[in-house]
């Protein structure tokens, strides 16, 4: 299967490399990016075995040999390229979020459905071995009737201020992964969101109109309550854990580490530190989500993370943003 990638930034390069190394069913024919330079071109052609590079996404969209498109461009272009790729009859994998504008999210999903193409949204954490292990145990009934969910998600370093200014805010950029995970684990839809946030790490983030430390409480239609905490800076590295508490017990995972080596000496017992780079932390998940996307195309079945799965976290992010600004609980129906 020949595929194209729109966007040659960090995540575009990650997908190109992973496909070259771990997904032999796919050949990346073309990568497009308006800011393509000689260094990126060399990396894509030598490390990722990409045939062609271009600055124009139309070269991918108009290529009849290309069956599938991975949209890894800036968020404000996601819905545009979903619509154009769908109209061109190409299957679509799109990084999160679909868009900040709910009308554009709906238009993108509807266009893909009308065109009869596959659409998968890049919520990679569903494919992480730790998070998936919790999900499988919950679905097997090990926790009983789920009552509470707790998610912690903390990054080792905040993004650049230039990125913060166009990111849509912490709820759209960072916590949206956790919104998806909470919904995934609960197996239900959120009805109400309450958010609190502060600027505790970098005053420039506050000046850009965002917060860097946030906690959100979610109420689900089936009575489950979930709490999510996010921080833009954990000095020890990536810290991402989930816990599901229910009538029969509790299922949780520990933070992932490169290895489980323990050093004990006369002063202390210490463990391996956590991952410092997201691409290392989620390598397996990034590969698995692309393999699932290919499987959906080859075997003509629904993608594991559909367009609708991409819609609900955006609704939750919109409600959280409104809640933070207005200092009150916000029902999903208010933003839907």
- Residue showing tokens 């990409």: 50
Copy the structure tokens of residue 189.
């839809």
Q: Identify the band that residue 258 occupies on the pLDDT scale cut at 50, 70 and 90.
A: confident
- pTM of the predicted model, to two decimals? 0.94
Three-state DSSP at 275 gives coil
Residues with Cβ within 8 Å of residue 69, at least 6 apart in sequence: 3, 4, 5, 6, 60, 61, 81, 85, 90, 91, 92, 93
Cα→Cα distances 30→68, 257, 289, Å:
11, 35, 20
What are the tens digits of pLDDT across the range 73-96?
999 999 999 999 999 999 999 999
What are the tens digits of pLDDT across the range 175-208?
999 999 999 999 999 999 999 999 999 999 999 9
DSSP symbol at 65: T
Q: Which residues pair with 217 in a beta bridge?
A: 194, 227
What are the tens digits of pLDDT across the range 302-312?
999 999 999 99
Distance, in Å, from the CA atom of 1 to the CA atom of 4, rounded to the nearest integer, reads: 10
């Amino acid at each position: 299967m020949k595929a194209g990638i729109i966007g040659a930034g960090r995540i575009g390069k990650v997908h190109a490399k992973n496909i070259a190394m771990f997904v032999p069913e796919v050949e990346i024919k073309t990568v497009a990016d308006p800011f393509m330079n000689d260094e990126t071109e060399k990396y894509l052609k030598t490390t990722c075995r990409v045939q062609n590079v271009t600055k124009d996404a139309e070269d991918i969209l108009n290529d009849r040999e290309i069956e599938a498109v991975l949209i890894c461009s800036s968020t404000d272009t996601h819905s545009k390229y979903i619509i154009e790729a769908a109209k061109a009859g190409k299957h679509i994998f799109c990084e999160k979020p679909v868009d900040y504008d709910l009308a554009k999210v709906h238009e993108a999903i509807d266009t893909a459905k009308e065109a009869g193409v596959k659409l998968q949204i890049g919520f990679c954490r569903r494919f992480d071995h730790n998070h998936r292990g919790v999900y499988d145990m919950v679905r097997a009934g090990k926790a009983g009737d789920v009552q509470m969910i707790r998610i912690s998600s903390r990054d080792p370093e905040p993004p650049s201020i230039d990125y913060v200014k166009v990111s849509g805010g912490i709820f759209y950029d960072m916590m949206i992964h956790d919104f998806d995970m909470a919904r995934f684990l609960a197996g239900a839809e959120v009805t109400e969101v309450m958010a609190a946030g502060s600027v505790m790490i970098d005053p420039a983030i506050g000046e850009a109109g965002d917060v860097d430390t946030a906690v959100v409480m979610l109420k689900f239609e089936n009575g489950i309550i979930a709490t999510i905490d996010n921080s833009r800076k954990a000095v020890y590295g990536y810290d991402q854990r989930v816990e599901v508490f229910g009538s029969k017990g509790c299922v949780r995972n520990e933070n992932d580490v490169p290895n489980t080596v323990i050093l004990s000496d006369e002063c202390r017992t210490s463990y391996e530190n956590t991952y410092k780079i997201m691409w290392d932390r989620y390598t397996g998940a990034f590969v698995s989500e692309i393999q699932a996307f290919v499987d959906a195309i080859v075997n003509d079945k629904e993608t594991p993370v559909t367009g609708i799965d991409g819609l609900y976290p955006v609704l939750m992010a919109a409600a959280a943003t409104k809640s933070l600004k207005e200092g009150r609980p916000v029902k999903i129906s208010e933003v839907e």
